[in-house]
Amino acid sequence: MTIIPDTKDWTWVLERRCDECGFTASELAPTDFAGLVRQTAAAWPAVLARPDVRERPNHSTWSPLEYGAHVRDMLRLYRERLTIMLELDDPLYPNWDPDAAAVAGRYGELHPSVVSRELLDAASDIADAFEVLVPEEHRRPARRDDGASFTVKTFAQYFCHDLVHHLHDVSAPSVAEVPVEE
C-alpha cells in the first residue's frame, strides 16, 4: 500500500481556523503550549490500545499506529528544532518528509505500547522545554528550507495545531474533550 505524500503547505493554520479539526492556532498563548502538548499526548495511550490500531481506514490514510509513531517523531523533531532556535540566530532547518520517515521507521511494524510510552516521554520533554521559555525567546526567528519562516511562538502554534489535528485524524476526542478522570 502506498500513502500519497501530503505536500500541502500547512502554514495557513497560523492565519485562520482549521475547518477539519476546528482548532485556531493563532489564539493559543505561549503559556498554553506545554499544557496542550501534555493534554494531547494523554489521549494517545487509549488510541494505541484500540483493536483497530494497525488498520488503515482506507489505502491512503495511516493506521492509528502509524499516526502515533508520526506524532512521537514529530515531538522529538520539534524538540530538536526548538533547541536550534534557542541556540542559533535565525537558523535554517530542513523541511521534514513524514512519509519518508514512516517508511524508514517501519511505523506499521512497531509495537503500539512501545510507541505509546515513547510518545509520552517525547511529549514530556518538549512540554518541559516550552514551560521554561521566557517572553524574549518566543520572538526568536527561524526559517524552514521551503521558504516558511517562524518565530518560536508561531512555530509552537503550528506544532500545537498538528498535535490536535492528528487526534482528529484518528477520530480521538479533541483536546477540549479529553477526559480528566483516572
- Of 4-12, 17-25, 33-41, 46-54, which part binds Zn ion (CB under 5 A)? 17-25
Under rule CB under 5 A, residue 153 binds Zn ion: no
**Smallest distance, Å, CB 159 to Zn ion?**
12
Under rule CB under 5 A, residue 20 binds Zn ion: yes
C-alpha cell at position 88: 542559533
Could you tell me which of 65, 93, 66, 72 has the C-alpha nearest to residue 81? 93
Under rule CB under 5 A, residue 86 binds Zn ion: no
Among 21, 48, 65, 122, binds Zn ion (CB under 5 A): 21
Under rule CB under 5 A, residue 18 binds Zn ion: yes
Considering beta carbons, is residue 72 or 165 the nearer one to Zn ion?
165
C-alpha cell at position 140: 526568536
Query: Binders of Zn ion: how many residues, by CB under 5 A?
Result: 4
Q: Residue 149: helix, strand or coil by DSSP?
A: strand
Q: Look up residue 97 and give its DSSP letter.
A: -
Q: Look up residue 52 and give its DSSP letter.
A: T
**From residue 33 to residue 52, what is the string marking binding to Zn ion with x (rule CB under 5 A)?**
--------------------
Q: In the block, which residue shows the cell 499516526?
A: 67
Q: How far apart are the first and last CA of the chain?
A: 38
- Of 24-32, 93-101, 107-115, 159-167, which part binds Zn ion (CB under 5 A)? 159-167
User: What's the Cα-to-Cα distance from 84 to each of 12, 93, 104, 125, rounded to whole Å?
Assistant: 24, 9, 24, 15
Considering beta carbons, is residue 36 or 110 the nearer one to Zn ion?
36
8 Å CB contact between 117 and 166: no
**Smallest distance, Å, CB 25 to Zn ion?**
8
Under rule CB under 5 A, residue 166 binds Zn ion: no
In the complex, the residues that contact Zn ion under the rule CB under 5 A are 18, 20-21, 165
